[in-house]
Structures are given as C-alpha cells and as structure tokens.
C-alpha cells in the first residue's frame, strides 16, 4: 500500500496519515535547506527519513515537532497545522509524541528512575506507588530496571539511549520520533535498539519516525523510507524498492559510493591552479 | 525568526536590542515564578545550591573586609581623635555599601557563573529541548527556580557577610587597636537607623535580582557549544559586576 509517489488524492484517501509535510521550504540564514519537501508518515508504521549528513534530517524533525517554523509550506500532525499553534496547543500536541534524542538528552541532575518519572510528575497527579510501577515497567521493557538508581553520568551511550527511550514511552505516546538512534553504538547496542524500535511499533502500535543514515538497520525495520538529498525527497518507497532504484543519487547513498551526485569534494577552486598560485593558503 | 534578513546595527542599537531582549526575558521568567513557587522543592534546592554553597567564601571575605575596615577606620578616625566612632563607621559602611556590593560581586563570581554554565551545558546537551519536547517549559522548571533561588539567597548571604564583617571590625578595632568595647557598640546602636538597614536590604534584593537574571539569561542564551558556554560564563561575571556597580550608584543617589 506504500506508493512511491504521494499525490493529493492518495493523501486525502488515507485517513491514517499522522504526519503530513507539504511543499516545505526552509532556509537557515541564506542557506536553503529544504526547497519543496513532501513527506507523509502513516499510523502504525515505521517511516524512515534517510539521507547524507547535512541534508537537514534533524532540521526536519524540529520542523515536525514545531521547534522551528518553515518559511513556506504546511506541516500537519494529527490533523493540526503545527505552524499555527500557540505554545499551549503545541505542548498539548507534544504530549502525544515521544522523542528520542541523538545523545539521549537525559536530565543530568536526576537519577535514571527520576528521568523516566519526570514526564509523569510534570503532567499527572498519579500516586507515588503507581509512578513507581509505571517507571519500573518501562525500564524493564528496555532491560534497565536494574539501573534505576544510577545517575546518567554512570551509563554507557547505548544505555543512555535506552533510558531515554523508556522516558519517551512513559506517557504512552502515539508517535515516537527517533533522531539518529544508531549513531556511535557498538554492534550489540545497535541490535538492541533495532529490536526495541520494532517492538515498540509491533507491541504498542506506536507510529514511528526514524531519522538515520544507517541503511542496513533501516532496511531491517522500516515499512517506508524517504531519501532526502539537496532539500528534496529524491526517492521514496520500501527499502527494497529503494535498493532496486536506478537513480544515481539513490544508488550512491544505498551502496556508499564516495563520489557521485553528492560530490566527494567540497566546492573549491581548480586544484592545479590553486597549487601553482602564490596565495597565502 | 532565524530566517530574518541580516540587520546592520550600530553599537548603540545593538546594545538597546540586547537590553530589550533581557527585559522581555525578565518578564517571561517573572510570569513563571508563581508556578515555580507552587512546587517549592526546586526553589529550596536552588537556594541551597546558590546560597549554602557560597557561605564559606562569603564569610571568609566578610571577615577580611571587616578587618580592613577596622584598620583603615581606626587610622582615619584617630586623626580626628574620634576612634570611638569606629563602630558606627564600620556598621554604616558594611550595611549600606560594602555588604551588598562586595557580597553581590562574590555571588556573581561564585553562584552566577555556576548557574550560567549549568544552564548552558543543559542547553548544549539538548536537555532543554528535551523538556520542551516533553511539553515542559524549561523556563518554569529550570530558569525560574534558579532565578528565585538567587533572589532569595543573596540578601541572606549579605546579612551574614555584614555580621561576620562587624565581627572582623570589632576584632581589629577593639581587640587589637584598643577602641573601647562599650563605645564601639553603644555608638553603633545609637547612630544606625532602621532606614540604613532597609537601604542595605533593598540594595541586596535588587542586586540579587540583577545577578540572577544576568546569570540565567546568559546561560539560557549561550551558544550550544563548549566555547559558547565559556563565553557566556565570562559575560555573566563582567555584566553582573558592571550592573551591580551602576545600580549601586543609582540606588545610593535615590536614597540620599
């Protein structure tokens, strides 16, 4: 049911679109990051945003969560236009989303237990005994119930990310957003995170959005992926469809070729001329 | 907001812009102070952080400032043969000027920098963004408690500074230089008015608000890098020190 090309008719037909990004333009200073981006994420599925570093994948997440506003275009989450929301409404929307940051972003002055309990204490008036049960359940789900009393500084990178995941799901969000969840992990931790992302999706039915450039890991879990390059979606479809693509830019990314449509060299004057010239650099 | 066209400002306009930004930030923090007070645990923790942890440096410096006052005051007053007035001189100097000003300068260096670097590092490690993503306003749970903590802690520290300072002045003036104990204390009691005490309290409250505001503002707006946090910490010390001295002149002029 995943069509590589998303047209307007298909969108309106699908009531299960959770995140809908249409014709989004965004510029940072004078540098254009997105020029006409179109993306959808559907309910109950794992959607991957892939692309080389510096294509604005993280910026896209900040746009979707309303941390920044696009210069043009619309972003709809749960049918609400993110760009027009006031802080109170935006916070209401964010309570239905969980986000896993690249480095975990655990609150360093709180223990693992208190980190996971933080959203509950802020948003609910649950009795302490229930909070304890909920926190321990979520920590158990990520395999770190035994680490409840550690401080974030005592955790490894993979453990921090798992604690952050427990914190992200403690309010039972409908959407979970993962920002580069595989970066800097050893193979075992990587496998654990891959398994957890799939479990969260299958067991809890959480709509998942994963931003990453790890082709192998994404291929194992994503239902649908979008490949971003130079401010646009250059290809979309299942990982298998992307793999079979003949587009040069897709092949370069999927197979990790050093030079191609994404050039190996940063723009520079002519090599020969520069070596022979007498400039200071 | 970040996509705005680059505006070329003169230094004066840039400064006004900055003062305006601090003002707007101040109002936003004030708006979060009541909600923050509703859960006093965080504020109490920050009073401990900013206040209790600055106690030793405040007491040590208070003692030496008082001892210097004892020496200099005695030397000066002895030239007019009125050493007995040393108690008054030390008390008024400490209560009205030295206590609030030196106490606040020390506070800016000890607690202000800690606040700035703590908030800056929380920002650099995405903790503030994470809170916003959890629909929690960091102004309420991070900034306002720290601002209130500083605001409450500084007047208390200044009071302690004054007491230890008077002890130091007495130590040198009475025990070492031989001023009469009775004259030292009774003249002080007779000459110091409630207004003098009030002036010191108001000054320390204003300086407390200024120091804490500068510290949390710089931390909250620090560039999210190691270098940015370092620069912000430096700016906290420089800006609070200048602000304290400027405000001190304005308040003194208003009281006299």
pLDDT (tens digit, 9 = 90+) per residue, B83-141? Answer: 889 999 999 999 999 999 999 999 999 999 999 999 999 999 989 999 999 999 999 99
**Candidates B122, B135, B137; nearest CB to A95:** B135
The alpha-carbon gap from B236 to the nearest alpha carbon of chain A, in Å, equals 22
Q: Give pTM, 2 decimals.
A: 0.84
Contact B122 A106 (CB under 8 A): no
Q: Is A117 on the interface with B (CB under 8 A)?
A: no
* 8 Å CB contact between A4 and A241: yes
Q: How far apart are the C-alpha atoms of A57 and A273, rounded to whole Å? A: 36
Q: How far apart are CA A195 and CA A181, in angstroms?
A: 12
Task: Please determine, for residue A3, whether its predicted confidence score (pLDDT) is greater than 70.
Answer: no
- Is B86 buried (19+), middle (13-18) or exposed (0-12) by CB count in 10 A? buried
Contact A106 B127 (CB under 8 A): yes
CB A239 within 8 A of CB A2: no
Q: Give the number of other Cβ atoms within 10 Å of residue A142's Cβ.
A: 23
How many beta-carbon pairs below 8 A join chains A and B?
Answer: 61
ipTM over 0.85: no
Question: Cβ separation of A107 and B130 shorter than 8 Å?
Answer: yes
- When CB atoms are compared, the residue of B1, B6, B127 closest to A105 is B127
Q: Does B181 touch chain A (CB under 8 A)?
A: no
In degrees, rounded to 5, the angle at the alpha carbon of residue A57 between the alpha carbons of residues A55 and A60 is 115
In residues, how long is chain A?
Answer: 281
pLDDT in tens, A34-85: 888 888 888 889 999 888 777 788 888 888 988 888 888 889 888 888 888 8
In chain B, domain spans: 38-255
Q: Which of B121, B130, B135 sits opposite A101 (nearest CB)?
A: B130
Contact predicate A233/A246, CB 8 Å? no
pLDDT number for residue A2: 43
Q: How far apart are CA A55 and CA A34, in angstroms?
A: 8
Return d(Cα B131, Cα B176) in angstroms, integer.
58
- Model confidence at A4, pLDDT cuts 50, 70, 90, reads very low
Share of chain B above pLDDT 90, in %: 82
Contact A65 B127 (CB under 8 A): no
Encode pLDDT of A172-225 as tens digits: 899 999 998 888 888 888 888 888 888 888 888 889 999 988 888 888 888 988
- Cα gap B153→B207, rounded to integer Å: 11
Q: List CB contacts (< 8 A) between A99 and chain B.
A: 130, 133
Please report which helix (H) or strand (E) contains residue A192, including its range.
Answer: helix A187-204
């Amino acid at each position: 049911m995943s069509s590589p090309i998303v047209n307007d008719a298909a969108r309106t037909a699908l009531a299960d679109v959770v995140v809908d990004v249409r014709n989004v333009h965004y510029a940072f200073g004078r540098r254009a990051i997105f020029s006409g981006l179109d993306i959808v994420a559907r309910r109950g599925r794992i959607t991957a945003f892939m692309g080389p570093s510096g294509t604005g994948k993280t910026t896209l997440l900040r746009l979707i969560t309303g941390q920044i506003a696009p210069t043009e275009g619309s972003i709809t989450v749960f049918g609400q236009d993110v760009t027009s929301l006031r802080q109170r409404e935006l916070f209401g929307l964010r309570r239905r989303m969980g986000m896993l940051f690249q480095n975990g972003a655990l609150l360093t002055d709180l223990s693992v237990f208190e980190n996971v309990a933080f959203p509950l204490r802020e948003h609910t008036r649950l009795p302490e005994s229930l909070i304890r049960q909920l926190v321990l359940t979520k920590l158990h789900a990520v395999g770190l119930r035994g680490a409840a009393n550690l401080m974030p500084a005592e955790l490894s990178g993979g453990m921090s990310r798992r604690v952050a995941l427990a914190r992200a799901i403690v309010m039972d969000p409908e959407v979970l957003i993962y920002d580069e969840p595989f970066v800097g992990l050893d193979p075992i931790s990587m496998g654990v995170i891959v398994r957890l992302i799939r479990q969260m999706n299958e067991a809890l039915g959480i709509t998942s959005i994963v931003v990453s450039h790890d082709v192998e890991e994404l291929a194992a879990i994503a239902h649908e992926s979008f490949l971003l390059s130079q401010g646009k979606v250059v290809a979309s479809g299942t990982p298998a469809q992307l793999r079979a693509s003949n587009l040069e830019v897709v092949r370069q990314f999927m197979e990790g070729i050093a030079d191609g449509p994404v050039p190996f060299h940063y723009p520079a004057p002519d090599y020969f001329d520069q070596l022979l010239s007498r400039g200071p650099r | 907001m970040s996509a705005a066209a680059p505006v070329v400002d003169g230094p004066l306009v840039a400064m006004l812009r900055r003062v305006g930004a601090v003002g707007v930030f101040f109002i936003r923090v004030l708006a979060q102070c009541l909600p923050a007070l509703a859960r006093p645990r965080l504020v109490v923790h920050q009073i401990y952080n900013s206040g209790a942890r600055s106690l030793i440096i405040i007491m040590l410096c208070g003692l030496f400032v008082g001892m210097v006052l004892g020496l200099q005051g005695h030397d000066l007053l002895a030239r007019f043969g009125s050493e007995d007035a040393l108690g008054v001189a030390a008390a008024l100097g400490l209560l009205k000027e030295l206590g609030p000003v030196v106490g606040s300068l020390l506070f800016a260096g000890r607690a202000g920098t800690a606040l700035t670097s703590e908030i800056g590092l929380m920002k650099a490690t995405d903790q503030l963004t994470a809170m916003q993503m959890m629909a929690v306003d960091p102004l309420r749970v991070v900034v306002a408690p720290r601002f209130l903590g500083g605001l409450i802690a500084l007047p208390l520290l200044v009071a302690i500074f004054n007491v230890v300072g008077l002890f130091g002045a007495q130590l040198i003036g009475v025990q070492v230089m031989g001023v009469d104990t009775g004259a030292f204390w009774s003249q002080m009691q007779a000459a110091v008015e409630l207004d003098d005490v009030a002036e010191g309290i108001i000054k320390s409250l204003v300086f407390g608000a200024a120091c804490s505001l500068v510290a949390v503002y710089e931390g909250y707006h620090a560039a999210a890098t190691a270098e940015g946090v370092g620069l912000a910490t430096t700016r906290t010390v420089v800006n609070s020190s200048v602000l304290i001295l400027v405000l001190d002149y304005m308040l003194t002029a208003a009281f006299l």
